[in-house]
Amino acid sequence: MEGLTILCNRNPQQKKPHSTFPTIVLAKVLILALTLAGCAKELAQDLGLARSEEPGGIPYEVKITGAPDEEMEELLLLVSALAGDDPPALVTSGLIRRRAEEDIPNLLKALHSRGYYKAEMQVEVSEGKPPLDVNYTVIPGPRFTLAQVRILVDAEPEYKAGLPSPQELGMEIGQGFRSEWVPEAQKRIRQALASQGYPFAEAAYEAVADFASNSMHITFTAQPGPFARFGETDIAMPEGLDLSPDYVRSKLPWKPGEAFDAQALAQARNNLLGTGLFSYAQFAYPEQVGENEELPLRLELRERPPRTVRAGGTYSTDLGPGVELGWEHRNLLGEGESLSVGLEANFVNRILESTYREPFFLFRENQSLILTARAADEQPEAYRSQSIDLSGVVERYIFRRTRIAGGLGFTLLNVDDPISDQDNYALFYLPLLIARDTRDNILDPGGGSLLSADGAPYYEVFGESNWFFKYTTNAQFYWSLMDEKRLILATRARFGQIPGQELSTVPATIRFYAGGGGSVRGYEYKTLSTLVDGDPVGGRSLLETSAELRWRFLDDWGLVTFLDGGRAYTDIVPDFKETYFWGTGLGVRYYTDFGPIRADLAFPLNRREEFDSHFQFYISIGQSF
């Protein structure tokens, strides 16, 4: 937005308010960048800036007094040309004074953009020995508050969409006015209409400043434009790509004739890029609606190499150094079939796993067959085991972000643990899953949530032919607390139970455990349960909770602080008289194109002196949850 137009109820002698400015968040980031670059040494000293130290220039120091708050003071220094990152080299005090006076209109614009429409400003330049003092004095006056927001529609008779409320526009009645609310509200109105069949919607506004009541009144007028439906999609397939167009169409979450939805376009693009087959996916459409209200689309795709080889490393004090290797083919038979093989090895676990995924299973869109084979040698503190697992499940998206899955699995297991007399197991099981995932990024979520429930009934062939059931529920939420997702609050809760058998008759590898980098940081892997002769034995129920504050203070770097809690309980109902283990700590994040690299230092708050270390350290790829 080039400027915020204000219609003022005011006296003729009063000056007209000025327009918009960079946001406070951008100001803080730039000020931080200046500080790190060594260019804001004096800013840290009462926010004064010594300038023009180049040969031929007179040194001077810019100060702001009378600003209504610290953020406003920082913003004024940011927009001042004299206090900027590249100030002019001025050779006389007269030139400094003239440039200081030329700064005043921009400084008043900054004050107006925060609602100080009656603000006045004076500047004084000292005489005498350099450095000269350039002192701006602010008389802010009252801050105008937002008194009214109206949303009108300039629509034709066939208009059939809803509009967001003032609260959904992010405008707070009674709060001090901020001019950046206006373009953001216009954007949200356009987005709301574009998701309800109006791809060419616009939103005009009128802002009135009432100088008698020191208040702002904003009126938005939505201009929907013509209603549109999805037409046919012309797919521009990359030359030489051996892939069925039907597979591409299966990733489009609409059918021709449905109301146009800009969010569906974004979801389709994510679906296509998520296959790993494309490096680029972009939709285009004409600027006018065709016959029958239909809007034809053109989809341009660029191929990504279908094969990927991965290699990575991890480290934690409980598992030691680790290596992760993988190979994947994402278009094995020309219909989007994928085959992956992965190896994970560290001092505790050695796991080899292969997965085959076939889309369009039984000719159903949004339905896939997933076949998995897994061989593992695991030696945590709780048990020693070798296992082979085979499973096949059918996964189907019943809604855009909601999927269900069910199938059949078989496990051969040899395990040694402190409380079971049985070493060998043969288990049939029926894996079940329902999950709703609205996260905006899997490796580094900045918003949305993940809600899931999974479980399986098990039948043990050897021994006493035991039946039992295991299920787990999981909830993860992510909130953005600052613009551009610079500060994220992430929370997690997990609960599970194993009804049907006593603890000793449930194979040790299937029991619940807590502790470790993906559970309760600060404690060793799978150790937070009842101990028998110093060994953890797991449990028939589990409760875990976590909260993590993630601050991305630079483009590539971030800091986190976290609190984890959890325990596995012997009984099917958690006994809260037993110790619930808490861990806390700090972490560093380095952000890359493939996700953040994390390093966490965690401390146990309920340390068992004979068992737990004073701290645990973790390095891996991706956020902790």
**Domain with 245 in it: what CATH number?**
3.10.20.310
Instruction: Tell me the per-residue pLDDT of 443-479, one tens digit each, with 9 for 90 and over.
Output: 889 999 999 999 999 999 876 668 999 999 999 999 9
**Gap between the terminal Cα atoms of the chain:** 37
Q: Output the pLDDT for position 556.
A: 92
Q: Single out the residue in 139, 160, 194 at which a domain terminates.
A: 139
Kindly state whether residues 521 and 608 are assigned to the same domain.
yes
The model's confidence at residue 22, banded by pLDDT at 50, 70 and 90, is very low
In a domain, residue 491? The reply is yes
Kindly state whether residues 298 and 350 are assigned to the same domain.
no
Please tell me whether residue 136 adopts helix, strand or coil conformation.
strand
If we measure between CA atoms, which residue out of 241, 251, 242 comes closest to residue 334? Answer: 242
Task: Give the other-Cβ count within 10 Å of 229's Cβ.
Answer: 18
For residue 351, what is the domain's CATH number? 2.40.160.50
* Sequence-separated (6 or more) residues with CB below 8 Å from residue 484: 25
| Angle at the Cα of 293 from the Cα atoms of 292 and 298, rounded to 5 degrees | 105
The model's confidence at residue 489, banded by pLDDT at 50, 70 and 90, is very high
Instruction: Tell me the per-residue pLDDT of 53-87, one tens digit each, with 9 for 90 and over.
Output: 444 567 888 999 999 999 999 999 999 888 865 55
Q: Single out the residue in 139, 174, 205 at which a domain terminates.
A: 139
Alpha carbons within 13 angstroms on the beta-carbon side of residue 206 total 9
Tokens of 224: 């929907």
- CA distances (Å), 583 to each of 19, 381, 466, in order? 49, 19, 36
Give the whole-angstrom CA distance, residue 249 versus residue 299.
10
Q: Single out the residue in 139, 165, 188 at which a domain terminates.
A: 139
Instruction: Tell me the per-residue pLDDT of 497-552, one tens digit each, with 9 for 90 and over.
Output: 999 889 999 999 999 999 999 999 999 999 999 999 889 999 999 999 999 999 99
Kindly state whether residues 132 and 151 are assigned to the same domain.
no
In a domain, residue 326? The reply is yes
Kindly state whether residues 412 and 482 are assigned to the same domain.
yes
In a domain, residue 75? The reply is yes
> What is residue 168's DSSP assignment?
T
Q: Output the pLDDT for position 365.
A: 77
In a domain, residue 1? The reply is no
**Are 316 and 323 a contacting pair, CB within 8 Å?**
no
Instruction: Tell me the per-residue pLDDT of 363-381, one tens digit each, with 9 for 90 and over.
Output: 887 899 999 999 999 999 9
pLDDT at 15 over 80: no
Kindly state whether residues 22 and 131 are assigned to the same domain.
yes
pLDDT at 214 over 90: yes
Number of domains in the chain: 4
Kindly state whether residues 472 and 488 are assigned to the same domain.
yes
Kindly state whether residues 440 and 517 are assigned to the same domain.
yes
Kindly state whether residues 192 and 268 are assigned to the same domain.
no
In a domain, residue 163? The reply is yes
Among 136-140, 158-162, 414-418, the range scoring the smallest mean pLDDT is 158-162
Kindly state whether residues 353 and 385 are assigned to the same domain.
yes
Kindly state whether residues 216 and 233 are assigned to the same domain.
no
Kindly state whether residues 254 and 274 are assigned to the same domain.
yes
Kindly state whether residues 462 and 344 are assigned to the same domain.
yes
Give the whole-angstrom CA distance, residue 282 versus residue 279.
10
Single-letter residue type at 356: Y
Domain that holds residue 571: 307-621
108 phi and psi angles, rounded to 5 deg: -65, -35
Instruction: Tell me the per-residue pLDDT of 273-313, one tens digit each, with 9 for 90 and over.
Output: 888 889 999 999 999 998 889 999 999 999 998 899 999 99
